[in-house]
């Protein structure tokens, strides 16, 4: 085997020195290059994992916040609908109350107008009755001359008016 190595121009002391140099280089690289690079890579890995966890937590928190806002918005919309319906109900109630009040006022005005008309009619009839009585007295006085005294004439006229009032009313169109 030594001969084969010599024929290939491989010398064992050189190979041994190269292996020792390589082992020394490996130890030095491991201590001063791969060690710090490994620590840096591990720290970077941890930082990336931490950032990913933080991003996931932030995303979950944002989703919770979005759901909370959507829930609040639904609540606000429901409250707005409820208030709008309440306002409509109140407006309808106010409208009904105003209509009822207007109807009652109209009924009061009609009733008052009817009473006023009835009073005016009664006053007109009374005035007419008194005028007819005066005219009847005057006519009776002229017809009878002065044969009856004024008290007897009034009594006769009053009897006549009572008989006229007992007649059924006539409607004139």
Rg of the chain taking only CA atoms, in angstroms: 63
Is residue 126 assigned to a domain?
yes
Is residue 5 assigned to a domain?
no
> Of 119, 161, 157, which is closest to residue 138 (Cα–Cα)?
157
Contact call for residues 102 and 119 (beta carbons, < 8 A) = no
Give the structural domain span for 30: 17-165
Give the DSSP letter of residue 32.
I
Is residue 27 assigned to a domain?
yes
Model confidence pLDDT, tens digit, residues 42-89: 999 999 999 999 999 999 999 999 999 999 999 999 999 999 999 999
State the pLDDT confidence band at 35, using cuts at 50, 70 and 90. Answer: confident
- Residue 136 makes CB contacts below 8 A (sequence gap 6+) with 157, 160, 161
Torsion on CA atoms 131, 133, 135, 139, rounded to nearest 10: 180
| Least reliable range by pLDDT among 1-5, 19-23, 92-96, 143-147 | 143-147
Half-sphere exposure of 167 (CA within 13 A, CB side): 8
Per the structure, how many domains does the chain have?
1
State the pLDDT confidence band at 101, using cuts at 50, 70 and 90. Answer: very high
Is residue 171 assigned to a domain?
no
Is residue 10 assigned to a domain?
no
- Residue 137 makes CB contacts below 8 A (sequence gap 6+) with 150, 153, 154, 157
Is residue 83 assigned to a domain?
yes
Is residue 7 assigned to a domain?
no
Is residue 38 assigned to a domain?
yes
Mean pLDDT calculated for residue range 39-44: 92
């Amino acid at each position: 085997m030594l001969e084969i190595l010599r024929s290939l121009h491989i010398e064992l002391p050189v190979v041994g020195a190269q292996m020792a140099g390589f082992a020394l280089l490996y130890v030095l690289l491991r201590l001063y290059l791969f060690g710090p690079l490994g620590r840096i890579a591990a720290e970077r890995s941890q930082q990336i994992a931490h950032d990913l966890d933080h991003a996931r937590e932030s995303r979950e928190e944002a989703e919770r916040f979005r759901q909370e806002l959507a829930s609040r918005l639904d609540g606000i919309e429901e409250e707005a609908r409820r208030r709008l319906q309440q306002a409509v109900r109140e407006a309808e109630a106010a409208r009904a109350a105003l209509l009822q009040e207007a109807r009652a006022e109209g009924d009061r005005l009609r009733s008052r107008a009817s009473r006023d008309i009835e009073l005016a009619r009664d006053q007109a009839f009374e005035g007419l009755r008194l005028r007819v009585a005066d005219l009847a007295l005057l006519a009776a006085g002229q017809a009878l001359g002065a044969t009856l005294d004024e008290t007897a004439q009034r009594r006769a006229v009053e009897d006549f008016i009572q008989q006229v009032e007992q007649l059924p009313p006539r409607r004139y169109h």
